[in-house]
């Protein structure tokens, strides 16, 4: 009887640990938005990345710029209440 409870407890703990690992990977997943080079494209990508209410679609978004691409801003990028992440695409250059 005591061994059965012990085995059941171990199985439940194992199942919980596996579930925690699976779900934690989706919690920390980043959403990436590839931005094409050009005039105002970065502004449009950031400013247009909102819902109908003006809230961010996903505050954990990373904007990926093409290497050697030219991005000309057509205004100020304002971000309040979230961390703005802009990175270059993988590769040389």
Strand-pair category, 31-35 with 61-65: parallel
* Whole-number percent of the chain with pLDDT over 90: 40
Please give the mean pLDDT across all residues of the chain: 82
Query: Per residue in 14-56, pLDDT tens?
Result: 666 665 555 554 555 789 999 999 999 999 999 888 888 878 8
- Quick one: pLDDT at residue 86? 94
User: What is the pTM for the complete model shown?
Assistant: 0.65
Residue 68: predicted pLDDT? 92
45-75 b/e with 16+ CB inside 10 Å = b?
Answer: bbeeeeeeeeeeeeeebebbbeeeeebeeee
């Amino acid at each position: 009887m005591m061994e059965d409870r012990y085995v059941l407890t171990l199985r439940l703990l194992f199942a919980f640990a596996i579930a925690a690992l699976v779900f934690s990977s989706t919690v920390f997943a980043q959403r990436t938005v590839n931005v094409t080079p050009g005039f105002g494209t970065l502004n449009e990508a950031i400013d247009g990345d909102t819902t109908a209410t003006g809230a961010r679609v996903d505050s954990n978004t990373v904007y990926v710029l093409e290497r050697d691409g030219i991005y000309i801003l057509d205004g100020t990028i304002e971000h309040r209440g979230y961390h703005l992440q802009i990175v270059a695409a993988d590769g040389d250059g």
